[in-house]
């Protein structure tokens, strides 16, 4: 059975297309159950972030086209829209991709810490919905372990990078010094809170926090003594700031052209859109003096990642992925190993039954010890061969020879 990755990411699809196929947390169950219902799919996990919407699958044969159709059907998209940007990986390539994603090596902001939590959340959702099994459970757990090692043991773990840091870098390069610059935060969730922290630490002045839920805006604004406002108050606040960080994942833009036009502002305005889907109307950037950077543009403002850090992380990823592939390959030997152990137990029981009349001088406890010793001896005898079998499980010829050698052909029929 193959392990597969099917979906789109920032390397294959622009932000506009990724936005159209992004799934909210509330949609995860619908997607997972639809994919699990496909004839060949045994297990599945859905990862949908700003950078990617990918499905990780364990299946009896390649269901890539069926998965693609399912994703498009749920989102109401023509299959051709997604197929031109779809990535489909199988086997070792798919496994390494999942591990690299968890470590942040496949992120637009390489080395970002947020992806590990997103992978953990996606896996937890799949487990709670019972769409995973032994194969993906093992793969996801090893991938997250590898991601933690990359954070802990390589220079990527010391890089304090995220989309919010990219926004700060863009602000510095566009406006010059960030010190004292007046910033409006739109949103009150996790990304908005991170953006506020990053900009405040750089000595920007957080002027206001705007959000649909005014109470949430007030809670976040209280951290820097900023003003809180509803989205209706945007025109008034926009007239007072140098930059706007939009950190919402709304279904429709929250910052519209009329908000900016009615603000009556004259100076230039920099808008940094961290939203997925975008939180800024497409035509806002056409206004005079207004600059809009979306997620794809913001990635250009980060410093390059040191090559040695990527190399060190890659070695850890390869080590973990190889470990998984060895475990996965060993599964092919499990029926033979189980057959050997059953045969050994049968032989031990038969030998014990023949010996039992000579054991009448022993009490029940003594007879049980003899019986156990016979089983243990045969299990120990088989330990070496079974270990070698698992190690050689990728060689189909070796497995067939083992069946012949131990007379295990037809074992399933005899059971």
Tell me which residues are annotated as active site: 50
Backbone angles phi, psi at 128, to 5 degrees: -65, -30
Backbone angles phi, psi at 40, to 5 degrees: -95, -10
Rg (CA), the chain: 29
Q: Which two tokens stand for residue 184?
A: 């409006």
Contact between 48 and 29 under an 8 Å Cβ cutoff? The reply is no
Q: Which two tokens stand for residue 415?
A: 């059971």
Q: Which residues pair with 45 in a beta bridge?
A: 56
Contact between 72 and 78 under an 8 Å Cβ cutoff? The reply is yes
Q: Which residues of 224-234 are buried (b: 16+ CB within 10 A; e: fewer)?
A: bebbbbebebb
Neighbours of 26 (CB within 10 A): 7
Q: % helix / strand / coil in the chain, to the nearest 5?
A: 55, 15, 30
The SS3 call for residue 415 is coil
Read out DSSP for 99-139?
Answer: HHHHHTTTSSSTT-SHHHHHHHHHHHHHHHTT---HHHHHH
| Burial classification of residue 404, based on how many CB atoms lie within 10 Å of its CB (0-12 exposed, 13-18 middle, 19 or more buried) | exposed
Read out DSSP for 275-327?
Answer: -SS-SB-TTGGGSTTEEEE-HHHHGGGSPPPPHHHHHHHHHHHHHHHHHHHHH
Q: Which two tokens stand for residue 310?
A: 């990527």
Q: Which two tokens stand for residue 158?
A: 């010391």
């Amino acid at each position: 059975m193959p392990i597969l990755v099917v979906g789109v990411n920032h390397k294959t699809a622009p932000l506009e297309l990724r936005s159209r196929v992004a799934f909210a947390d509330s949609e995860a169950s619908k997607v997972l159950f639809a994919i699990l219902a496909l004839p060949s799919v045994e297990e599945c996990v859905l990862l949908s972030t700003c950078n990617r919407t990918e499905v990780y699958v364990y299946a009896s044969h390649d269901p890539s086209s069926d998965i693609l159709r399912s994703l498009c059907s749920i989102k109401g998209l023509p299959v051709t829209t997604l197929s031109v940007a779809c990535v489909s990986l199988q086997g070792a390539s798919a496994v390494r991709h999942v591990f690299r994603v968890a470590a942040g090596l496949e992120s637009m902001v390489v080395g970002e810490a947020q992806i590990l939590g997103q992978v953990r959340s996606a896996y937890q959702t799949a487990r709670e919905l019972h769409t995973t099994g032994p194969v993906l459970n093992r793969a996801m757990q090893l991938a997250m372990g590898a991601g933690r090692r990359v954070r802990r043991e390589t220079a990527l773990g010391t890089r304090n990078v995220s989309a919010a840091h990219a926004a700060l870098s863009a602000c510095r390069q566009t406006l010059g010094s960030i010190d004292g610059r007046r910033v409006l935060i739109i949103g009150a969730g996790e990304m908005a809170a991170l953006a506020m922290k990053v900009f405040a630490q750089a000595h920007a002045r957080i002027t206001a926090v705007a959000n649909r839920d005014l109470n949430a805006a007030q809670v976040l604004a209280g951290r820097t003594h900023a003003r809180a406002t509803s989205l209706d108050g945007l025109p008034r606040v926009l007239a007072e700031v140098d930059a706007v960080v939009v950190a919402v994942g709304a279904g429709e833009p929250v910052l519209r052209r009329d908000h900016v036009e009615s603000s009556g502002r004259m100076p230039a305005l920099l808008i940094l859109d961290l939203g997925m889907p975008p939180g800024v109307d497409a035509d806002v950037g056409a206004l005079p003096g207004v600059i809009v950077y979306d997620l794809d543009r913001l990635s250009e403002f980060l410093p390059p990642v040191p090559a040695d850090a990527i190399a060190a992380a890659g070695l850890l990823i390869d080590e973990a992925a190889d470990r998984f592939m060895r475990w996965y390959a060993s599964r092919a030997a499990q029926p033979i190993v189980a057959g050997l152990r059953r045969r050994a137990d049968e032989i031990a029981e038969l030998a014990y039954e023949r010996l039992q009349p000579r054991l009448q001088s022993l009490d029940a406890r003594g007879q049980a010890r003899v019986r156990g010793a016979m089983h243990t001896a045969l299990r120990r005898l088989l330990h070496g061969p079974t270990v070698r079998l698992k190690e050689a499980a990728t060689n189909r010829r070796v497995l067939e020879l083992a069946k012949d050698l131990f007379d295990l052909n037809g074992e399933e029929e005899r059971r």
